[in-house]
Chains A and B, each alone.
Chain A
Amino acid sequence: MILWNALLLALREIRRNVLRSALTVLGIVIGVAAVIVMVTLGRGATAAVSEQIASLGSNLLMVRPGQGFGPNRASARAFTLADATALAAQAGDLQAVAPAASTRSTAIFGNRNWDTMLTGSTNAYLLTGNWKLADGRTFTDAELRAGRAVCILGATVQRELFAGQSPVGSRIRLKRLNCTVVGLLAAKGQSAMGTDQDDVVLLPIRTFQRRVAGNTDVALLITSVRSPDLTDQAMRDITAVLRQRRHLGAGEEDDFNVFDTRQISETLTGTTRVLTLLLGAVAGVSLLVGGIGIMNIMLVSVTERTREIGIRLAIGALEREVLGQFLVEAVVLSSCGGLVGIALALLAGAAITAAIDIPFVLDVPVVTLAFAFSAAVGVLFGYVPARRAARMDPIEALRHE
């Protein structure tokens, strides 16, 4: 009853001083809008990054020979196909193990040529990398076993050599190898690191070893873990199996390393989090400034309305009723600012995310929280003026001119 009345009074008082109220809440508007825009952009960027990470493959562990990035890295022994087979058989947490070796080479079709990445692997490579086929088929067991001259093209290579025509059944030349195209990968786009993942030609690993590299080296083991929570267990299993196969004694260090791709996303989300925190602090400061603005204008308003307060008190208003009235007014003022800020932020957020091509992620809890914060600013900074009003002496207030 009294609250409803106070609400109506507050709205009327704001309507009476539209310009003043608008200027007063500008700080709140900017603060709230800033928070929401920042969070929306942050979430959008994170979502974009996670999308890219997911396109890299799910729950991947990359195993490379050598430790760190020092000079002994190159000298470390490469893996073999037998290592891959052993891992797939002995490490139970792994869903797939793809042995891989790569080199750069020119691919030639007719009078066109294109410098690309040749990668030798197995069908497991498609599984670990979340690759889909756009055309044709995967390698057959016979082709893999015998090391036949067949290949699967990435979308970029198809575009450059075949100008978008279906390459399946055509023959392309890779170094000295004449090779039949059996499949085409669906495009994945850029990786999180900005490299073109579709710029690839896939060969059976044996074909690569015998006819391209001329050795039996496997430079990389790409393994995918069954579920994210098994990652640590899988890392231990891989390490144990490889240490044994590479005859490392108890005192010797690993001469290979297992890299968790989640680390990339963690680093990236960590960066966005720091950014969000920083911008959040800026937004917090502007909310504070907005709050001080509200306090200032409420103090002015209380002084201006001393007579009104005197009348209300004399007529029998309780201290807490007068306090409530001015508190409600401050809260209504600041939450109006909050609402305008939210509207502004949604418009700006939609525009900016569209412009820089990241998803528009509306974070409902953050919007709610921002609104709650704006209301809280009203309570916090409206309290002192409201208490001043409530504590007035009715006789003096009535005499005020």
Chain B
Amino acid sequence: MTTASTTMPMIRLRGICRVYGSGQATTWALRDVNLDIDAGEFVAVMGPSGSGKSTCMNIIGCLDTPSRGSYHFRGVDVCQLDRNARALLRRHYLGFVFQGYNLLSRTTALENVELPLVYQGVSRGERRRRVQAALAAVGLEGREHHTPAELSGGQMQRVAIARAIISSPSVLLADEPTGNLDTARSREIMELLSRLNAQQGITIVMVTHEAEMAAYAQRTVRFVDGRVASDALTRGAA
């Protein structure tokens, strides 16, 4: 694995297909996707609705397995792993910012953010310390004891980001992190992600519909109809 990871990119998708349903109702969400993402990259994923962006993110995030093709994450063949092993990969290497926050309701920001650390078996004191740091990193000091109902949309999204980065993942996967936010809030979030990418070296893969947000990334992958239609460095990057 260590030797493989020196020659392989962080993420390598080869000939990935994802088929839903069977017979008449068969949907090809992904058709023969090839994609390499190196450690430290900030990639924007764009494309029309239904083009397979979320499906691809789920596969990269080890939440879903492809119907065909191979996926190597840090040199490990994910398709060979069982449910528990994939859960452990997610726990230790991946951070998710889901479409629509997906925070635990009626649960404080602090407890939402510390959740990944609970499963990592980090001690309570250490968790508190790291939660403070993560909330500070997303600019939410002093909101530890607010529940999602007591936070604005932008604040909830930042709590979700804090939760995704608390375990210092190798890869942060964000599916439309600015989908429900106004432009000003969206820019704040994008600047936060850029900072995380630049300062902590976290690899970021982000789905977005807005070109302005994609411009924060160094590279843009465009999906059309389940295929990678274009893959180019963002203007101004490099």
A contacts, CB < 8 Å to B: 1-2, 5, 16, 307-308, 310-319, 321, 394-395, 398
B116, A316: Cβ atoms under 8 Å? yes
B63, A311: Cβ atoms under 8 Å? no
20 more A-B residue pairs beyond the given contacts A314-B61, A315-B91, A316-B88, with a C-beta to C-beta distance below 8 A? A1-B123, A16-B106, A308-B104, A311-B98, A314-B96, A315-B119, A316-B116, A316-B119, A317-B119, A318-B84, A318-B87, A318-B88, A318-B119, A319-B83, A319-B87, A321-B119, A394-B63, A395-B63, A395-B64, A398-B102
B121, A1: Cβ atoms under 8 Å? yes
User: Closest Cβ of chain B: how far from A10's Cβ, in Å?
Assistant: 14
6 contacts between A and B (CB under 8 A): A308-B104, A308-B105, A314-B90, A316-B94, A321-B119, A394-B63
Mask of B110-130 contacts with A, CB within 8 angstroms, 1/0: 000001101111010000000
Partner of B98, one of A1, A313, A314, A317: A314
B118, A2: Cβ atoms under 8 Å? yes
User: Closest Cβ of chain B: how far from A217's Cβ, in Å?
Assistant: 88
A153 to B139, CA, bound (A): 97
A1 to B106, CA, bound (A): 22
B contacts, CB < 8 Å to A: 58, 61, 63-64, 83-84, 87-92, 94, 96, 98, 102-106, 115-116, 118-121, 123, 163
Q: Specify which chain B residues have a CB less than 8 angstroms from the CB of A313 in the assembled complex.
A: 87
User: Closest Cβ of chain B: how far from A7's Cβ, in Å?
Assistant: 13
User: Given the interface contacts A5-B118, A314-B96, does A319 sit within 8 Å of B104 by beta carbon?
Assistant: no
Q: Specify which chain B residues have a CB less than 8 angstroms from the CB of A311 in the assembled complex.
A: 98, 102-104, 115
Closest to B89 in A: A316
A336 to B102, CA, bound (A): 31
User: Given the interface contacts A2-B118, A310-B102, A398-B102, does A315 sit within 8 Å of B96 by beta carbon?
Assistant: yes
A310 to B103, CA, bound (A): 11
User: Given the interface contacts A1-B121, A394-B63, does A316 sit within 8 Å of B102 by beta carbon?
Assistant: no
A317 to B163, CA, bound (A): 14
User: Closest Cβ of chain A: how far from B134's Cβ, in Å?
Assistant: 14
A317, B87: Cβ atoms under 8 Å? yes
Q: Specify which chain A residues have a CB less than 8 angstroms from the CB of B94 in the assembled complex.
A: 316
A319 to B94, CA, bound (A): 18
A307 to B112, CA, bound (A): 13
A313 to B118, CA, bound (A): 13
Closest to B164 in A: A315
Q: Specify which chain B residues have a CB less than 8 angstroms from the CB of A1 in the assembled complex.
A: 121, 123
Q: Specify which chain A residues have a CB less than 8 angstroms from the CB of B121 in the assembled complex.
A: 1-2
A398, B87: Cβ atoms under 8 Å? no
Q: Specify which chain B residues have a CB less than 8 angstroms from the CB of A394 in the assembled complex.
A: 63
A314, B118: Cβ atoms under 8 Å? no
Partner of A307, one of B63, B64, B102, B118: B102
Closest to B123 in A: A1
Most buried by B among A308, A310, A312, A315: A315
B102, A319: Cβ atoms under 8 Å? no
B64, A316: Cβ atoms under 8 Å? no
A310 to B94, CA, bound (A): 15
B98, A398: Cβ atoms under 8 Å? yes
A318 to B88, CA, bound (A): 8
A31 to B118, CA, bound (A): 37
Q: Specify which chain B residues have a CB less than 8 angstroms from the CB of A5 in the assembled complex.
A: 118
A337 to B174, CA, bound (A): 44
Q: Specify which chain A residues have a CB less than 8 angstroms from the CB of B83 in the assembled complex.
A: 319
B115, A312: Cβ atoms under 8 Å? yes
Q: Specify which chain A residues have a CB less than 8 angstroms from the CB of B103 in the assembled complex.
A: 311
Closest to A321 in B: B119
B106, A316: Cβ atoms under 8 Å? no
Q: Specify which chain B residues have a CB less than 8 angstroms from the CB of A318 in the assembled complex.
A: 84, 87-88, 119
Partner of A315, one of B84, B106, B115: B115
Closest to A16 in B: B106
A307 to B90, CA, bound (A): 17
**6 cross-chain pairs, A with B, having the tightest CB-CB distances, nearest first:** A316-B91, A316-B90, A315-B116, A316-B87, A318-B87, A394-B63
Closest to A316 in B: B91
A319 to B86, CA, bound (A): 11
Closest to B58 in A: A395
Q: Specify which chain A residues have a CB less than 8 angstroms from the CB of B58 in the assembled complex.
A: 395
User: Closest Cβ of chain B: how far from A303's Cβ, in Å?
Assistant: 15
A321 to B116, CA, bound (A): 13
A318 to B81, CA, bound (A): 14
User: Closest Cβ of chain A: how far from B173's Cβ, in Å?
Assistant: 10
Q: Specify which chain A residues have a CB less than 8 angstroms from the CB of B163 in the assembled complex.
A: 315
A280 to B123, CA, bound (A): 46
A308 to B104, CA, bound (A): 6
